Structure 1
């Protein structure tokens, strides 16, 4: 299964923000949208960073609550690991495991077209295993 299939099924909506958003505002976006990461984009919708829940927790632990009023650019990851729609579930599982990443923005022609979470990958992998088991069962019973 490919990332494109997952995005076609789940949708391509991605919560994005500019780098000037405060950490406090980002925390509200995460909570209100029930998501674990916000992709930071520039004026041309090019990915310039990513901010995850754990980045906010780490910033608070390191510098205290004062970080909440700083721009997210001060704590976001600027070196964003991305994937393409042509990546397979297996490739994404390997990337996420190696990078210890829970979210990977999906890029096409240099532009953000979706986001894949570890939950999306787990669901796709489970569906694949269930489909294979059903095929084997159908083969055995026929």
Structure 2
């Protein structure tokens, strides 16, 4: 299975925030949409960075509540690992595990076209295993 298959079921909507937004705005967006990360983008189509709940928590621990007034660029990750829609999920899982990241923007021809979280990958894997289990149970019981 490929990332494009996950996006087909999940959808390709990606929330972005401007790099000149402050961290308080980031926290509001994350909470309102119940998401763990947001792509930082000047134009909504390119990936300039990514900002996550982890980034906020680390910055708060280091600098205190004053960080909420700082620009997102003060806490975001600028070197973002991205994947193409035709990337196999096994490769994506390896990237997420090796790099200890939970969100990967999906980019095609330099344009942001989705985002995949570790939760999306786990859900997909559980669905695959359930389908296999059902097929094996049907085969064993003869109920094809």
TM over 0.5: yes
Q: Assess, with a 3 A threshold, how the Cα gap between structure 1 residues 130 and 44 changes in structure 2: closer, same or farther.
A: closer
Q: Distance in 2 between matches of 1:84 and 1:136?
A: 33
Q: Distance in 2 between matches of 1:7 and 1:43?
A: 21
Alignment of 1:1-142 (within 5 A): 1-43=1-43, 45-142=45-142
Query: Is there any run of 5+ residues in structure 1 with no aligned partner, and where?
Result: none
Over aligned residues, Cα RMSD in angstroms? 1.1
1:25-51 Cα offsets, whole Å, 9 max, x none, are: 100000001000010112262101000
Are the equivalent residues in 1 in contact too, given 2:106–2:112 (CA < 8 A)?
yes
Residue 106 of structure 1 aligns to a residue whose secondary structure is strand
Unaligned runs of 5+ in 2: none
Q: 1:102, CA displacement in angstroms?
A: 0.6
Asked if the contact 2:85–2:106 (Cα under 8 Å) also holds between the matched residues in 1, the reply is: yes
Give the count of matched residue pairs.
142
Deviation track 1:61-111 (CA, whole Å, cap 9, x = no partner) reads: 111111110100111000000111111221111111111001000011111
In structure 2, the CA distance between the partners of 1:89 and 1:44, relative to structure 1 (3 Å rule), is closer
Would you identify which runs of 4 or more consecutive aligned residues in structure 1 move more than 3 Å? none
